[in-house]
């Protein structure tokens, strides 16, 4: 079995990192979670060398970090890093839409299918699938519009955003986020790429606003915990 897994890993050298990114987008892996080479080697049935290579690629992509004494960990982004990540996404995603000539009917159908999947996950209460689909919409958008380079970049930035949300944001209104995705598609279907870009900017600003709110709330909670019940 291990030999077969090794062969599969060599056929798809990105299998381990793809699984880890999917788990992060789904909220199944938390920020700061330790990813032990021995444990991953057992889970995937491959050598620790292949695991280490996958971890090094994820480190280069900004998804994990390594400690010389404790091993590999999922990143725990700071508020400042979160803002930089969202700024980078805004530059890429708004720019992508501004420069778009027109989305074909096939592109619109693919994006509508994705939003229907989001709606189904929301309706079923599947939080992991909902989290994954809402984040992956942005990757799907770049792929559908025919820009694999942007799709790859957005995969990493979106994963980092989901990890940031897990640390700093209150539960994002999934219905509102899904609705905003639909509005972006509506604008694309009408051939109004400028409006689609504006709506994307608004959408990402909502994410940033939630982040800022949560950050302030966390500081207040920390201060209350420090000062209440200390006894005088």
| Alpha carbons 126 and 135: distance in angstroms, whole number | 14
- If asked whether residues 89 and 65 sit together in one domain, one would say no
Number of domains composing the chain: 2
The answer to whether 36 and 66 are in contact (CB under 8 A) is: no
What gap in Å lies between CA 5 and CA 45, rounded to an integer? 6
State whether 65 and 149 are in the same domain: no
The tally of CA atoms less than 13 A away on the side-chain side of residue 80 is 0
The pLDDT score that the predictor gives to residue 171 is: 45
Q: At what angle do helices 148-168 and 15-25 cross, to 10 degrees?
A: 50
Q: Which one, of 167, 129, 123, lies nearest residue 30 by Cα? A: 167
Stated pTM of the model: 0.79
Residue-number span of the structural domain to which 13 is assigned: 2-74
CATH number of the domain within which 43 lies: 1.10.10.10
The pLDDT assigned to 182 comes to: 98
Domain closes at, from 74, 102, 124:
74
156 and 92 in a common domain: yes
The reply to whether 100 and 151 lie within a common domain is yes
**Can you give the pLDDT of all 232 residues of the chain as single tens digits?**
555 555 555 556 689 999 999 998 888 888 889 999 999 999 999 999 999 999 999 999 999 999 888 899 999 888 788 889 999 999 999 999 999 988 999 999 999 999 999 999 999 988 888 889 999 999 999 999 999 999 999 999 998 888 877 665 444 578 899 999 999 999 999 999 999 999 999 999 987 876 665 554 554 554 455 455 544 4
| CATH number for 97 | 1.20.120.530
Q: Could you give the CA distance from residue 26 to residue 130 in angstroms, rounded to a whole number?
A: 7
Domain boundary among 40, 56, 74: 74
Question: Of 117, 141, 136, 140, which Cα lies nearest the Cα of 197?
Answer: 141
Q: Are residues 44 and 99 in the same domain?
A: no
What is the per-residue pLDDT for 70? 85
What pLDDT is attached to residue 170? 46
Instruction: Find, among 62, 57, 56, the residue nearest to 85 by Cα.
Output: 62
Residues 26 and 87 in one domain: no
* pLDDT score for 148: 93
């Amino acid at each position: 079995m291990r030999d077969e897994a090794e062969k599969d890993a060599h056929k798809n050298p990105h299998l381990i990192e793809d699984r880890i990114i999917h788990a992060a987008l789904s909220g199944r892996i938390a920020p700061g979670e330790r990813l032990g080479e021995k444990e991953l080697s057992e889970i995937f049935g491959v050598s620790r060398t292949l695991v280490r290579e996958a971890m090094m690629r994820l480190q280069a992509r900004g998804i994990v970090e390594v400690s010389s004494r404790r091993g590999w960990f999922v990143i725990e982004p700071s508020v400042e890093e979160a803002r930089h990540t969202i700024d980078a996404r805004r530059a890429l995603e708004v720019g992508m839409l501004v420069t778009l000539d027109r989305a074909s009917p096939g592109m619109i159908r693919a994006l509508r299918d994705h939003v229907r999947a989001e709606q189904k996950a929301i309706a079923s209460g599947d939080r992991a699938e909902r989290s994954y689909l809402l984040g992956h919409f942005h990757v799907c958008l770049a792929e559908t519009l025919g820009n694999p380079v942007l799709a790859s970049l957005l995969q990493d930035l979106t994963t980092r955003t989901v990890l940031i949300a897990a640390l700093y944001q209150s539960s994002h209104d999934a219905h509102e986020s899904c609705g905003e995705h639909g509005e972006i598609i509506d604008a694309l279907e009408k051939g109004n790429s400028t409006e689609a870009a504006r709506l994307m900017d608004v959408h990402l600003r909502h994410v940033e606003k939630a982040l800022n709110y949560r950050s302030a709330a966390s500081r207040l909670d920390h201060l209350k915990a420090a000062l209440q019940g200390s006894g005088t």
